[in-house]
């Protein structure tokens, strides 16, 4: 894309409404704009990142689950059956249609998916079944803040599993556990599984995935040795190996403040290995057995021909929150440094002197070359000062920058900069294709 043609309203100054870095950078980089408290418009640059994150999640979840799409608006009846119509409290947005029929804007989908299951699946022979969607949620948070980190409207990936017994349900929980480790790893995030409270979702087994960050809202207490663990290459059908991995990781002390036990912590962790810090919750796993299947009559016939409620779990990822979490983990004083896997563009070309024929010719040539090689590229072709263009490219954080200027051209080269490391290499004008093959591609 040519910078001169796209809608990218960047800001030079820090907006006063933002108190944390990721929020500030998302506003400055022209990714989002607030439309009402905790509700945002995703501008093209931000939306590209959101889609990339969705796709990483989708590709990994498709290996263990099937995607569907449930609506944002739900009937209140099923929530009355589960008991959560009252229990969920003020965070749930309730309203009536023109026929005075009570509806809600879904804060989560346990009831709806259980209802779908109960009407369409009857036998254990159809199990295991795991379904997910990526859909907007609304929670009327008492204190929406930090931009997309705690929104009222936010994008969630939520998966729901159905199994014939607890043993199988825990196997699915463990597969999700591994899937989450991989998903966050692909976004270059170090996510730590911590024992968690189940809150309004319920159940008796739950883990949150936390990214360590000073600006996080959760207090966490961990054994730092967990940070050295690498994710082994395990196949999703190898339940035993996955269970071993989950057992190994959950054996490290790691707890959010609501599950923290100081005596246990002192007992389990050496003083030098203790790390008390803050974190951002990017994912949450729940096993809750028949909490929803019982009241919503989601029964299956088992092998002996008896009827019993299906065993369930649910598994969430904060898709829109992840945009903020990734920025928090990948930025410097100049702006964002996107990991390639989620970057809105892989390469940014800066034509440092747009009114110079040689600079424009070479920039155009590199631009066309990258497009022909299917590399996402943003080409700053505007007739603006070099300083402005360099600062903006740094701010929006494209992983590779190609800088074309008159001085380089005179000597037969242009510059290639890696945004995260700051390393610059000079590339001979005749070697444009070697950049693609050896460095960027």
**Residues engaged in binding ligand P5A (CB under 6 A):** 108, 139, 141, 150-151, 154, 156, 158, 201, 281-284, 286, 314-316, 318, 320-321
Cβ 362 to ligand P5A shortest distance, Å: 44
Q: Toward ligand P5A, which CB reaches closer, 201 or 352?
A: 201
User: How many degrees, rounded to 5, is the angle at CA 27 between CA 22 and CA 33?
Assistant: 120
Task: Assign 315 to helix, strand or coil.
Answer: strand
Of 156 and 213, CB closest to ligand P5A: 156
Pairwise CA distance, residues 63 & 130, whole Å:
11
Enumerate the β-bridge partners of residue 154: 137
CB of 201 to ligand P5A, least distance (A): 5
Tell me the residue nearest to ligand P5A as measured from the CB.
Answer: 318
**Least Cβ distance, residue 142 to ligand P5A (angstroms):** 10
- Least CB distance from residue 427 to ligand P5A, whole Å? 41
Tokens representing residue 129 in the block: 């079944």
The DSSP secondary-structure symbol of 436 reads I
Q: Measured from the CB atom, is 151 or 344 closer to ligand P5A?
A: 151
Do 362 and 404 meet the contact criterion of CB atoms below 8 Å apart? yes
Helices (H), 223-356: 239-251, 262-268, 319-329
Q: Which residue has the tokens 């309730």?
A: 94
Matching residue, tokens 């002390």: 253
Q: Residue 260 half-sphere exposure, CB side, CA atoms within 13 Å?
A: 18
CA end-to-end span of the chain = 18
CA-to-CA distance for 112 and 104, rounded, in angstroms?
A: 12
Nearest residue (CB) to ligand P5A, 10 versus 218? 218
Residue 402 β-bridge partners: 349, 416
Q: Indicate the residue among 108 and 169 with the shorter CB distance to ligand P5A.
A: 108
Q: Least distance (Å) from ligand P5A to the CB of residue 337? A: 22
Give the position of tokens 């890696």.
418
Nearer to ligand P5A, 141 or 219 (CB): 141
Pairwise CA distance, residues 252 & 249, whole Å: 6
CB of 74: closest distance to ligand P5A in angstroms? 13
Provide, rounded to whole angstroms, the least separation between the CB of residue 152 and ligand P5A: 7
Nearer to ligand P5A, 108 or 363 (CB): 108
């Amino acid at each position: 894309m040519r910078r001169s043609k796209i809608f990218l309203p960047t800001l030079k100054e820090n907006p006063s409404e933002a108190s944390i870095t990721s929020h500030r950078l998302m506003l400055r980089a022209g990714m989002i704009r607030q439309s009402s408290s905790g509700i945002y418009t995703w501008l093209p640059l931000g939306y590209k990142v959101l889609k990339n994150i969705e796709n990483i999640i989708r590709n990994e979840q498709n290996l263990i689950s099937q995607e569907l799409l449930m609506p944002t608006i739900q009937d209140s009846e099923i929530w009355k059956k589960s008991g959560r119509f009252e229990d969920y409290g003020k965070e749930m947005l309730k309203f009536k249609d023109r026929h005075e029929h009570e509806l809600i804007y879904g804060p989560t989908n346990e009831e709806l998916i259980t209802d779908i299951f109960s009407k369409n699946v009857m036998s254990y022979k159809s199990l295991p079944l795991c379904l997910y969607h990526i859909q907007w949620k609304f929670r009327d948070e008492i204190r929406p803040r930090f931009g997309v980190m705690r929104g009222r409207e936010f994008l969630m990936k939520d998966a729901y599993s159905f199994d014939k017994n607890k043993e199988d349900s825990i196997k699915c929980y463990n597969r999700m556990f591994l899937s989450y480790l991989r998903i966050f790893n692909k976004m270059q995030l170090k996510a730590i599984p911590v024992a968690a409270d189940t809150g309004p979702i319920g159940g008796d087994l739950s883990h949150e995935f936390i990214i360590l960050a000073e600006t996080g809202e959760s207090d966490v207490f961990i054994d730092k040795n967990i940070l050295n663990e690498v994710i082994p290459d395990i196949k999703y059908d190898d339940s035993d190996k996955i269970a071993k991995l989950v057992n190994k990781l959950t054996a490290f002390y790691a707890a959010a403040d609501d599950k923290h036990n100081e005596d246990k912590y002192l007992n389990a962790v050496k003083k030098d290995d203790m790390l008390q810090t803050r974190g951002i919750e990017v994912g949450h796993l729940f096993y809750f057995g028949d909490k929803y299947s019982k009241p919503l009559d989601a029964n299956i016939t088992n092998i002996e021909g008896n009827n019993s409620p299906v065993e369930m779990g649910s598994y969430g990822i904060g898709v829109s929150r992840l945009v903020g979490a990734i920025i928090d983990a990948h930025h410097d004083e100049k702006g964002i440094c996107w990991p390639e896997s989620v970057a809105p563009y892989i390469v940014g070309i800066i034509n440092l002197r747009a009114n110079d024929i040689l600079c424009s010719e070479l920039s155009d040539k590199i631009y066309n070359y990258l497009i022909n090689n299917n590399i996402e590229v943003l080409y700053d072709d505007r007739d603006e000062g070099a300083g402005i263009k360099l600062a903006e490219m740094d701010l929006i954080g494209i992983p590779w920058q190609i800088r074309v200027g008159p001085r380089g051209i005179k000597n037969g080269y242009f510059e290639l900069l890696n945004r995260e490391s700051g390393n610059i290499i000079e590339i001979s004008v005749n070697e444009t294709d070697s950049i693609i093959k050896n460095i960027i591609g």
